[in-house]
Amino acid sequence: MICLRYLKGDSDAQDALQNALVKIYMKIDQFDLKLGSFYGWSSRIVVNECIMLIRSRKRVLEFESMEGSIDFNLEPSVIEDLSAQEILRLVQKLPTGYRLVFNLHAMEGYAHHEIAEMLQISTGTSKSQLFKARKMLKQQIKHILLEPHTHE
């Protein structure tokens, strides 16, 4: 599931997961239970593999701008009406830069300065990409709510 949040295609997600599993197996001796859970340690490896795969396919990560976007205020309960698959599909639709920062911050819990270091961008760019990702997700959800027959 982690790979599918970062990568758009199933084959890319499978490649990243396979690479991550090999790394986890090769580095299992470096895991230290005193420093955190196995899930946290292995998830970080999976996330890093996803980022490396994206980088290998693009010479420079593109961080798109979204000029003139409209902000919609949605109630938190609106998300409850969407299935996990619908939410995953919406996240996958985000431009690469938005998707990376959104996943790293909102899903993985990284701070903006950590994201900036991982993606080799500024902290301000990380914050901006997160803001724009959230705005785009709100627009997509609003669209689904206006046309409920399109997501069944």
Q: What is the pLDDT of residues 92-128, one digit of tens each?
A: 899 999 999 999 998 889 999 999 999 989 999 999 9
pLDDT at residue number 124: 94
Structural domains of the chain, ranges and CATH numbers in brackets: 1-57 (no CATH), 64-152 (1.10.10.10)
N- to C-terminal Cα distance for the chain? 21
Of 140 and 65, the one with more pLDDT? 140
pLDDT at residue number 2: 87
pLDDT at residue number 101: 94
Distance separating alpha carbons of residues 98 and 139, to the nearest angstrom:
14
**Mean pLDDT, the chain, whole residue set:** 82
pLDDT band of 144, cuts 50, 70, 90: confident
Handedness of CA 65, 69, 72, 74 (dihedral sign): negative
Mean pLDDT, residues 23-44: 92
